[in-house]
Structure formats: structure tokens, C-alpha cells
Amino acid sequence: MTSIKKASVNSKKAFLNYALVIVFYVVFQTLVSTKHITNSLKGQLIPITCYMIMAISLNLVVGISGELSLGHAGFMSIGAFTSVIVTSALTGLPGIAKLVVGIIVATVIAAIAGFLIGIPVLRLNGDYLAIVTLAFGEIIRNIITNLYVGIDGKGVHFSFLSPDGLGMEATGKIVVNGPQGALGYTKLATFTAAVVLLFIVLIVVQNLVNSRTGRAIMAIRDNRIAAESMGISPMKYKMLAFTVSAAMAGAAGAVYALNYSMIDPKKFDFNTSILILVFVVLGGIGNLTGSIIAAGVLVVLPELLRKFGDYRMLTYAVVLIFVMLVTNNEKLKGRIDTFFKKLRMKISKGGRKK
Amino acid sequence: MLTHLINGISLGSIYAIIALGYTMVYGIAKMLNFAHGDVIMVGSYASFCFMMYKNVPVPLALLLSIVICTVLGITIERLAYKPLRSATSLAVLITAIGMSYFLQNLALIIWKADPKWYPDIFKDTAAIEIGGAVVKPVAIVSILVNLLIMITLTLFTNRTRMGKAMRAVSEDKGAATLMGINVNSTISITFAIGSGLAAIAGFLLCTTYSRLEPTTGSMPGIKAFTAAVFGGIGSIPGAMIGGILLGIIEILARAYLSSELADAIVFGVLIIVLLFKPNGLLGKKIREKV
Amino acid sequence: MSKSPEVKLVNVPSPNFVPEKDADKPLVLEAAHLGIDFGGLVAVDEFNIGIGATEICGLIGPNGAGKTTIFNLLTKVYEPTRGTIMIGGRDTHNMTPVQVNQMGIARTFQNIRLFDKLTVEENVKIGLHNHIGYHTLAGVLRLPGYWKEEKKAHERALELLDIFGMADLADVKADSLPYGAQRRLEIVRALATGPKLLLLDEPAAGMNPSETEELMNNIRKIRDEFKIAILLIEHDMNLVMGICESIVVLNFGKIIAKGTPSQIQGNPQVIEAYLGTHRG
């Protein structure tokens, strides 16, 4: 009896998130079709959705699995460049098919990268694990910065460090051009496609968490030694969470890149990894609803702060520090709570007087 | 080869000085102070401004920049980190990142995005020749300064009351408090020392590479942090060894393998070292009590 | 104080002895010449034990004698420096704690190690992990197997919790349980893994006499219902003397006495080492 109630608590939470995504989609899709939206915000819709996916994906590692990862943008980058190469190489297919294939291949490649990187990374603990994910993020960026990919009639050519090794036919086209990144490919992503992906990611993570596998992952997070003594292999489940998370980041990267016609490897640096981590932490560790909202608000916030001009990012930083202090310091939290209580009382008193 | 080696040790010495800031703060407050790299940047701008705009003599400019960084370090700690002493390490990390954004963007507003060119104070000194290798004077100065700092710090932590208090706090905050050590002021002093060192590092870094912009501190900061982990975070000799090894690897990789891939190689070596020594070269192994 | 009927210990084909009722069944656990050094310190040395199929065995000794270290050796949290551990006749050399559990040893911890942020029921379901038969993909896609197995696990979890009358606490977060209930939950969780041998590390710590009495009955009930062996570390002599069929006494990492409760109670060495000057 009791646990039927509980199951409904869990699924209620899950359905709330699905509803949130649907509302998000319907509202913005309506705004776009009725042209009630600024161009800059319209251009941000797909990136925002991608960052929401990134935040959910990172939350799987940081919140559910309990490992701090500082290199998540690396997997996004792998997905982004994979999808560009794949969609450029596919000819004679309709756009939507190219997009789907691009996302799938990007997901698979990012998952493989996640698995391979997970082997050394997940043997470490705490801050050491964090620094190594940071290192891998930088290594991925460094490698992609030196990658040259060209496509000609014979197929796809790869070269490292310089474009000389491509050996293409004269008609060939360079798709990925080292430090300049990928240029001149076709934009394929749509807001609808991005939201569908967000929905799928949400289903995967929520169903995973509320299953035998999810419980094992959380058990390892809460107490590794006890989990081992229950016959649960930490490496296996940490690996699973890390790989799934990398795969989702790859998918997000694919949609992100295919929203533009050029993409720079610098876009996926350490700062982007940190940005996503900020979404996760501010949204609440392990809280998927929070991740979605935080990603949405924090991508839009700098836009809203545009009127502050140069002070925009400064304000952002101050807001970030302030929020962290208020939510994590008991004294400050208490003071703010009493302030709001007093305020509410004043308001309700005032209301009664009238 | 020898030239590269000396240049590597020189760059490594700068990393080591920065790494000290990370490692001391980590040892005592168990937090990754991500804003440390940006304190370097602030220190560099400070000494730059004193030298270029106020015509202050070089040693005095350096001294003033050390004072500014020390005050900045203590202020950051008091305002942003102290209220979070009992919060999760992730919350402190994000706050430190916020502080890093804050300093970078403040610098962007004050000094603008276009790079400043740091003066070469050794331009009148001829290059030095050691055993056939020709090196810039600043390289030798960096190495010597680093050695001096290491010796002073080691003596400080082992011999003085304050140093002993610092070690006690890093071992066990609760027990240190019971022994009558003021934990808060000990942590403040640690931040002060780390930040003062950041000013020196910034001065050496900018004299070597001359380019100065609001993001100047980020990459050396990340690398020095890597160096601290490499040597075993929390360990002062570890920071020294980690920093110097990282500097040598970076310069040699740049010279003999690929300048584009130097960073990847540096991080790759870090990963390999951590796989065999999961707590860094000189880190202590902690056995979890069951 | 409830007394367990004095049993006769008989020798088995090894330097060990087990209760007569288990003599014809294979031992669940056998450790020989077990030892571990920490740095230069010899923490445990020459530890020999054999546990019969349905035996309740007590491991006692003064603080610091190495009792918990022995649990950590038996469950492979530490790899022994010397000696062998056989579970169900198989050598556990180089096995991990995960494998040891899968071979049939489950344990509780002296300093409680629950999955704090999860509910009581989830804690037990994690114990059931290897008995829930669907794969990750079936969970993500919510295939029929998921629903069937989750329902089974839910029912089983409540059944197990009911041993300690805790079924109504299923939805409570583990860390908000009172101390005694946390200890009981640890036992349920360990039991959920389906062990042949249950290791209990100070199960009665922090419990009052009536709670302890209830715990004793429950330990016996678990042994009788599940037909498993139990090895327990405990300082409460009422509990140890009341339910254990055999007792091993440890001091300074070495066994100083083995035998039935009455043999141990009368052993002068034990009295000196363990009970000190308080005779009786």
C-alpha cells in the first residue's frame, strides 16, 4: 500500500518534467509562429534546449552517480564534429534523415569515447577524478583543434596536424579545418528535433534512475563499501552512468552544431564544461527539474542583462556567488527566510487593513 | 636541448609558485580555489599599472602588487568562502568559479579586452650562457625566486608557530580548535600567502611572455592546478616537483613533438601518472576506515 | 536472560569444530592461518575458524582485538597478508567484496553504512539487486519484465522488512530512522542479498535491554527460517551467551579461546584478557 503511494510520488515527479518540456515547447513554438519573439531569443531556442540536455546528462554523473566531472563539453564537442562530418558525407538523403543519422552516430561515438575515458577516470576518486576529466576535456579540444577532415568523391579523408595529409581530389571539400573548426555545412537542426531529443533524454534518465540499475548507481554514490558488500560492482555501474551521460552529451552536441553552419572547437572548452556544471549545481544536484529550469534561465539571463552592457557578465558572476552563498549558508538562509516571512506578514496585514 | 631544459625548469618554476597557492589552500581549507588563476592576473595588471602609468620602480611595483593580491586573497576568502565553511565542496567550487568570472569581468571593464604588453625589465641585461645554452635572464630569475620561496616556505611551515598551526589545521580542524588555534585566521593567512605568491608568479609570467589580458591567469592557473595534483595536492614539495616536471614536459613537447599538441601531452602525462600513483607523486595514501 | 540450549561441539575433518547438528553438512566458511599486517603492525595472526551450515557463532574480545578487521578480511575489504579463506569449499584468493557477496556472505557494519538518501524500501531493494531479473535496457524501456520483477522485488522487500516489523517504514528515508531501526535495516538489507552466512558487527550496539532481547529472538528466527549461519561480533554478553552455539575469543589479533558458551565463561585466560578483574 505504502509503496504504491511512493511509486506515484516518483512518477508524479517524472510526469511533471515531461509536462514542463511540453509546455516549454508549446509556448515557444507558439511565440515563434505568431512572431511574438525577438530574433535573438529565437536564435537561442535550440542552444537552450541543447544546454538542457547537457545539464540532465551531467546531472546523471554529478547528481545520480556522485562523481564531479569537469570535462563534459569534450563529449559535446565529439558529438558536434561527428555529426558535421556524418551529415556532410551523407548525400542524396532528405535533411531529416541526415539529421537523425548524424545524431545517432554522434551519440554512439561519444558513448565509445565516454567508455574509453571512463576506464582510467573512474578508477580515481574525488578531486583527482575531477582533474582528470578536466584534462580529458582539454585533450579532446586540443585534438579536434588539430584535426582536418575532407570529403571528396572517394569518401572521407582524415589528417592530423596539417591539411596536407588529406590527399583529396581537386573537387574535394574540407569539412573540418583544424583550429578554424567546421565551416560551410548545412544547417539541419530544428527546435522540434531538439525538443524531441530532450524528451527522449528525460525518459531515459528518469526510467534509468527508477530501476534496478539506477538504485545500484545511487547506492554506490551513497556508500561504495556497503554497495560492494551487497554484490554491486562499483566500476560496472559508474561506467554505465558515465557512458550514458557521454552519449547524451554527444547527441546534444550534434544538435547544437547542426543549428549553425560553422562551429569552432574553442566553443567546447573548459568554460563550457563549467557553465553546464553551474546549471546542475544551481538547479540542485540530482534534481532534473532544476537542471532544466536552471539551464533555460541561465542561458537567457545574460541576454536579459544585455542592457547592463559590459557589466552583464559581472552581474552574472555576482548573482552566481550570491545564490551560492544564500542557498548554502545556514545563517544567511535563515535570515532570508525570516525576511520573506515578515514581508509576507506585512503584505497580508496590509491586505486585511484594506 | 639544455636551453629547452632550462626554459622548462623556468616555466615550471612559475607553475610551482602558482601551484603552491592551490596546494596550500587545498591542504588547509580542502577546497579548489578556482579564482587563484585570476588573482595572478590581477597582480600582473597591478604591477603593470604601477610601472607604466605611475613610473614606480620595478621592485616597489612588485611589492605593491603583492600587497594588493594579499588583501584581495583575504577579502575573497572572508566574503565568499568563509560563509561556506560547512557547505558541500561542490558549492564552494561553484562559488570559486563565480569569483573567477567576477575577477575576469571586472578586469575586462577596468582594463578592456585588448592585450597589454608587459615591459621587459631585463631588456638591458644580455642573455646568459650556461654550458652552451643561451637563456633569457628572466628564466634564471624565475628559477632562483622559486628556490627561495620553497626554502622559505618549508622553513616557515616546519619551524614557526604559525606554520605549525597551519599544519595542525590541515590535519584536523576540530582538534586544532581544541588546542587553541584560531582556525579562521590560520585559513586567512594561508590565502594571504598563496595570493602574495600569485602576484610574484604573475610578474614572472608576464615578464616571460609579455602578453597580458583578462584571461591571462586562466590557463596557467589550470596547469598549475594540474601540477599541484601531479605532485600530490596538499604537499609543498609535491607542488615544486609537479610544477617543474610539468614545465619541462610542456617545453620539450613544444620543441620536439608538436607545439599544437603540447597541452594535450601535458594533460596526457598527468593522467598516466595518476593511474599509477592515484594520489599524485608525493601524496599520502589514505585508507578508508571500514 | 534467555539461554540457548547448550549444544555439543564436534570435530570436523579440519582443526575446527561445529555444532553436532551441522557435522554432516559442509562448512559455509573456513579460514586457515589467516593474518594481515598494516605497515609493520601485525593486526591479525593465525586466525582459524570453521562455521557450520546453521551455526550461530560469536566473535568476542576486548576493543582493538581485531574483530572488525576479521570481518573485513572475510569479506575481502582487505586482502589478507597470509592464510586462506574458503567459502562453501572454494578458495577466495584475489576475490573482491562483490564476488564474496555473490558467493553467499553478507554483512552489516559497526559504523552504520546505509544508503542515507534513499528510502528504507530502496535500501532493501538494493540488497535484492542480484535477485531482480531484468536488464538495464528493460528498465529504461519499461518492458514487461521490469514491471513484473519490480512488483516481485517490492513484495519481497516488504516481507523481509516484516521480520523486524518495519514494513510500515518502507517510505521513510534511511537517515531519518532512529538508531536502533537503522541497525535492524542493515540486517534486513544484508539478508536480502540471500546469504548463506550473515556477518553482524555489533548488532545490539546502542540498543536498550528490551530491544536487545527482541533482537536475539529475531536473530534466532532468521537462522531458523532462512537456514543460514550467523557470525556476530558483540559486546553484550547476555546476547552472546544467550544465542551463540560457539564462541571465538580474540585478543591482540590472536585467538585465545574457542568453545561453547559455558566453556568460554569458565576459561581463565578469557576471564583475564576480556573480563579483566570482574569475575563472572
Q: Which residue has the cell 516518483?
A: A10
Query: Which of A192, A198, A276 minimizes the C-alpha distance to A17?
Result: A198
Task: Check if A8 contacts C (Cβ < 8 Å).
Answer: no
A-chain CB neighbours of C114 within 8 Å are 222-223, 226
Average pLDDT taken over every residue of chain C: 90
Alpha carbons A145 and A7: distance in angstroms, whole number: 48
Nearest CA-CA distance, residue B221 and chain C, Å: 36
Alpha carbons C156 and C164: distance in angstroms, whole number: 14
Question: Could you tell me the CA-to-CA distances from B6 to A91, B142, B181, B263 in Å, in that order?
Answer: 54, 11, 42, 19
| Stretch (H or E) spanning C220 | helix C209-226
Alpha carbons A298 and A279: distance in angstroms, whole number: 7
Query: Which of B169, B172, B171 minimizes the C-alpha distance to B161?
Result: B169
C-chain CB neighbours of B290 within 8 Å are 68, 72, 77, 109
| Stretch (H or E) spanning C160 | helix C144-163
Question: Could you tell me the CA-to-CA distances from B121 to B124, B210, B217, C113 in Å, in that order?
Answer: 8, 10, 20, 61
Select from B101, B260, B271 the Cβ nearest to the Cβ of A316: B101
Question: Could you tell me the CA-to-CA distances from A122 to A128, A141, A205, A243 in Å, in that order?
Answer: 10, 21, 20, 11
Residue B46 and residue B65 in contact, taking contact as beta carbons nearer than 8 Å: yes
| Bridge partner residues of C249 (DSSP) | C60, C257
At C29, give phi and psi (nearest 5°): -140, 140
Q: What is the dihedral of CA B10, B13, B15, B17, to 10 degrees?
A: -150
Q: Which residue has the cell 580548535?
A: B177
Domain covering C1-104+195-280: architecture: 3-Layer(aba) Sandwich (3.40)
Task: Check if C117 contacts A (Cβ < 8 Å).
Answer: yes
List per-residue pLDDT tens for chain A, 354 residues long.
Answer: 444 445 556 788 889 999 999 999 999 999 998 988 888 888 899 999 999 999 999 999 999 999 999 999 999 999 999 999 999 998 888 889 999 999 999 999 999 999 999 999 998 887 788 889 999 999 999 999 999 999 887 888 898 888 887 877 777 888 899 889 998 898 999 999 999 999 999 999 999 999 999 999 999 999 999 999 999 999 999 999 999 999 999 999 999 999 999 999 999 998 899 889 989 988 988 999 999 999 999 888 877 777 777 787 788 888 889 888 888 887 777 777 788 788 777 777 665 544
What domain count does chain A have?
2
pLDDT higher at C225 or A154: C225
DSSP classification of residue C10: E
Q: Do both A253 and A233 map to the same domain?
A: yes
Question: Amino acid identity of A69?
Answer: S
Find, in chain C, the residue whose alpha carbon is nearest to that of A230.
C127
Find, in chain C, the residue whose alpha carbon is nearest to that of B289.
C111
pLDDT higher at B1 or C231: C231
**Is the residue at B44 inside a domain?**
yes
pLDDT digits (tens, 9 = 90+) for C87-138: 998 999 999 999 999 999 999 999 999 999 899 999 999 999 999 999 999 9
**Is the residue at A176 inside a domain?**
yes
Q: Do both A246 and A337 map to the same domain?
A: no
Query: Which of B68, B28, B4, B95 minimizes the C-alpha distance to B202?
Result: B68
Chain B: list its partners (3+ Cβ pairs within 8 Å): A, C
Select from A6, A212, A226 the Cβ nearest to the Cβ of C119: A6
Chain A: list its partners (3+ Cβ pairs within 8 Å): B, C
pLDDT digits (tens, 9 = 90+) for C250-262: 999 999 999 999 9
Find, in chain C, the residue whose alpha carbon is nearest to that of B288.
C77
Select from A139, A325, A330 the Cβ nearest to the Cβ of B267: A139
Range ranked top by mean pLDDT from A318-332, B150-164, C265-279: B150-164
Residue A217 and residue A240 in contact, taking contact as beta carbons nearer than 8 Å: yes
Task: Check if A164 contacts B (Cβ < 8 Å).
Answer: no
Q: Do both A228 and A292 map to the same domain?
A: yes
Residue B216 has pLDDT above 80, yes or no: yes
Query: Which of B239, B249, B288 minimizes the C-alpha distance to B18?
Result: B239
Q: Which residue has the cell 568570472?
A: B101
What domain count does chain B have?
1
Q: Do both A202 and A319 map to the same domain?
A: no
B-chain CB neighbours of C72 within 8 Å are 290
Nearest CA-CA distance, residue A94 and chain C, Å: 29
H helix runs in chain A, sequence order: 2-33, 39-59, 72-89, 95-121, 126-145, 191-209, 212-222, 224-229, 234-257, 270-283, 288-304, 311-328, 330-353
**Which residues, 6+ apart, have CB-to-CB distance to A224 below 8 Å?**
A234
pLDDT digits (tens, 9 = 90+) for C134-160: 999 999 999 999 999 999 999 999 999
Q: Which residue has the cell 616555466?
A: B11
Domain that holds residue B164: 2-276
Residue A244 and residue A72 in contact, taking contact as beta carbons nearer than 8 Å: no
**Is the residue at B286 inside a domain?**
no
Q: Do both A96 and A128 map to the same domain?
A: yes
The grid cell for C254 is: 590472536
pLDDT digits (tens, 9 = 90+) for B226-243: 899 888 888 888 999 999
* pLDDT on residue A1: 41
* pLDDT on residue A4: 46
**Is the residue at B283 inside a domain?**
no
Q: Do both A190 and A144 map to the same domain?
A: yes
In the stretch 165-184 of chain C, residues with CB closer than 8 A to chain A read 167-168, 170-171
Alpha carbons C29 and C85: distance in angstroms, whole number: 7
Q: Do both A253 and A349 map to the same domain?
A: no
Chain C: list its partners (3+ Cβ pairs within 8 Å): A, B
Alpha carbons A214 and C170: distance in angstroms, whole number: 18
Q: Which of B33, B102, B106, B249 should one mutate to test binding to chain A, selecting the residue with the greatest count of A CBs within 10 A?
A: B102
The whole-number average pLDDT for the span C269-277 is: 72
Residue B245 has pLDDT above 50, yes or no: yes
Nearest CA-CA distance, residue A55 and chain B, Å: 15
Question: Could you tell me the CA-to-CA distances from C252 to C46, C61, C67, C81, C274 in Å, in that order?
Answer: 11, 9, 10, 17, 11
* pLDDT classification of C1: cutoffs 50, 70, 90: very low
* pLDDT classification of C170: cutoffs 50, 70, 90: very high
Alpha carbons C163 and B280: distance in angstroms, whole number: 48
Q: Which ipTM was obtained for this model? A: 0.89
Alpha carbons A145 and B112: distance in angstroms, whole number: 27
b/e code C196-234 from CB counts within 10 Å (16+ = b): bbbbbbbbbbebeeeebbbbbebbbebbeebebbbbbbb
pLDDT digits (tens, 9 = 90+) for B38-52: 999 999 999 999 998
Task: Check if A6 contacts C (Cβ < 8 Å).
Answer: yes
Residue A257 and residue A251 in contact, taking contact as beta carbons nearer than 8 Å: no
Q: Which of A67, A124, A131, A144 should one mutate to test binding to chain B, selecting the residue with the greatest count of B CBs within 10 A?
A: A131
Task: Check if C17 contacts B (Cβ < 8 Å).
Answer: no
Question: Amino acid identity of C50?
Answer: G
Nearest CA-CA distance, residue A80 and chain C, Å: 25
Q: Do both A237 and A147 map to the same domain?
A: yes
pLDDT higher at B268 or A307: B268
Is residue B256 classed exposed, middle or buried when 0-12, 13-18 and 19+ CB atoms within 10 A define those classes?
Answer: exposed
Task: Please tell me the pTM assigned to this model.
Answer: 0.89
Alpha carbons A251 and A246: distance in angstroms, whole number: 9
**Is the residue at A9 inside a domain?**
no
Residue B15 has pLDDT above 80, yes or no: yes
DSSP characters over chain B:
-HHHHHHHHHHHHHHHHHHHHHHHHHHHH----TTHHHHHHHHHHHHHHHHHHS---HHHHHHHHHHHHHHHHHHHIIIIIGGGTTS-HHHHHHHHHHHHHHHHHHHHHHH-SSPEE---TTTTSPPEEETTEEE-HHHHHHHHHHHHHHHHHHHHHHHSHHHHHHHHHHH-HHHHHHTT--HHHHHHHHHHHHHHHHHHHHHHHHHHH-EE-TTTTHHHHHHHHHHHHHH-TT-HHHHHHHHHHHHHHHHHIIIII-STTHHHHHHHHHHHHHHHSTT-SSPPP-PPP-
| Stretch (H or E) spanning C154 | helix C144-163
Q: Which residue has the cell 560492494?
A: A228
**Which residues, 6+ apart, have CB-to-CB distance to A184 below 8 Å?**
A173, A261, A262
Nearest CA-CA distance, residue A275 and chain C, Å: 27
Alpha carbons A129 and B67: distance in angstroms, whole number: 35
Residue B148: which CATH number? 1.10.3470
**Is the residue at B126 inside a domain?**
yes
**Which residues, 6+ apart, have CB-to-CB distance to C149 below 8 Å?**
A212, C132, C133, C134
Q: Do both A202 and A329 map to the same domain?
A: no
Q: Do both A218 and A352 map to the same domain?
A: no
Select from C115, C190, C192 the Cβ nearest to the Cβ of A223: C115
Select from A62, A135, A274 the Cβ nearest to the Cβ of B271: A135
Alpha carbons A70 and A62: distance in angstroms, whole number: 10
The whole-number average pLDDT for the span C71-96 is: 93
The grid cell for C189 is: 538489507
Q: Do both A123 and A186 map to the same domain?
A: yes
* pLDDT on residue C144: 95
* pLDDT classification of B10: cutoffs 50, 70, 90: very high
Domain that holds residue A335: 311-354
Those residues of chain B whose CB sits closer than 8 Å to some CB in chain A are 26, 32, 80, 83-84, 86-88, 90-91, 93-95, 97-99, 101-102, 104-106, 108-109, 218, 222, 225-226, 229, 233, 258, 260-261, 263-264, 267-268, 270-271, 274-275, 278-280, 288, 290
* pLDDT on residue A7: 54
* pLDDT on residue A339: 80
Across the interface, whether the CB atoms of B270 and A328 are under 8 A apart is answered no
